[in-house]
Amino acid sequence: MGKVEDALLGLAIGDALGVPVEFTTRDSLFKNPVTDMRGYGSHNVPAGTWSDDTSMTIATMDAIINYNGIDYYEIMNSFVKWFNDRDYTATGRVFDIGRTCASSILNYARDNIEPTKAGQKSEFSNGNGSLMRIMPISFYADSQHLSDVDICRVVSDVSSLTHAHSISKMGCYIYVQYLIRLIHGASKVDAYKDIQQLQYSEYFDSGTIKVYDRVLKNDIGTCDQDVIESSGYVVDSLEAALWCVLNNTSFRDTVLQAVNLGEDTDTVGAIAGAVAGIIYGKGSIPEIWIHALARNEYLSEIADEFTRSIYI
């Protein structure tokens, strides 16, 4: 199951490509687009440095490895180790952590709140902080042959560790279901058509479903770039990532377009990068990017351990 490594390296590379230009406008990147790994910039870190997106993803994977399954206390304890002790970081530094993630982790660590009740429930707490780290759950769900009901339950609970509003949960559910189909070998188009047919009304209210109309009722890939937002809002991030996946035919072009949309460049790059990694495989990733990626061997080791823990 090299697809876990494909997905994780894809995610980390998309993250690292986006870190130096996070918050940069689309117009600025149109004039000076990212074409390779850059250093410093927005967060003053060396080229190849990944951020909270990758850190929280591998913290989730490590928790599943250690527990030999999903335990929400184990996952939150891993987040605390990252937040407080700088575990799971690229360079021993925690940076770019979102407010919702930070407050949820602090709530849990300080008040010993039950993990799935630590996340923020406000409609204004629908950033992409659970979507960016949810990728491992697609492989876990696949390995355990979970039903749609159980996939939704697990995804909702894992999202709720930090992002407990239904809009965040649904975005994660759509993404996980899309990844599962790609893991099974479906084409990106067939997988997309398939997720449009799922019965979301069994799990989510009509108001929540409606915000995903452009993904589920229309074809997000046919939208003009001008209407694709790349903000930190979970709906925008999912739309932007899917748009890039559907409009490109290589790993390189997918992640570069995701980053060059501007604004929340690292997270849109990471979300699109995980998808493109599964579709095109590690062999399609420019070797120079893998060599430049911080702790690339560590990431591959985590991917291998995770694969063995859930599939064997």
Burial of 63 (0-12, 13-18, 19+ CB in 10 A): buried
At 96 the pLDDT is 81
| 3-311 under CATH 2.40.37.10, yes or no | no
Q: In angstroms, rounded to a whole number, what is the distance separating the alpha carbons of residues 27 and 101?
A: 29
Residue 204 carries which DSSP code?
A: S
Average pLDDT of span 154-179: 98
Q: In angstroms, rounded to a whole number, what is the distance separating the alpha carbons of residues 151 and 223?
A: 29
Sequence-distant (≥ 6) Cβ neighbours of residue 298 within 8 angstroms? none
At 312 the pLDDT is 81
Over residues 35-71, the pLDDT tens digits come to 999 999 899 999 999 999 999 999 999 999 999 999 9
**pTM of this prediction?**
0.97
Band (pLDDT 50/70/90 cuts) for residue 168 is very high
Percentage of the residues of the chain whose pLDDT score is greater than 90? 97
**Residue 1 pLDDT exceeds 60:** no
Over residues 29-38, the pLDDT tens digits come to 999 999 999 9
Band (pLDDT 50/70/90 cuts) for residue 212 is very high
Strand partners, 233: 127
At 112 the pLDDT is 86
DSSP-H helix ranges across the chain: 3-18, 26-31, 52-67, 72-85, 99-111, 135-143, 148-160, 166-183, 188-196, 206-210, 213-216, 234-246, 251-260, 265-280, 287-292, 296-311
| φ, ψ dihedrals at 127, nearest 5° | -70, -175
Average pLDDT of span 250-278: 98
At 102 the pLDDT is 95
Average pLDDT of span 125-137: 98
CA dihedral 274, 275, 278, 279 (to 10 degrees): -150
At 252 the pLDDT is 98
- Provide the residue ranges of all domains of the chain, joining segments of one domain with +: 3-311
**Residue 196 pLDDT exceeds 60:** yes
Over residues 69-119, the pLDDT tens digits come to 999 999 999 999 999 999 999 999 998 889 999 999 999 999 989 999 999
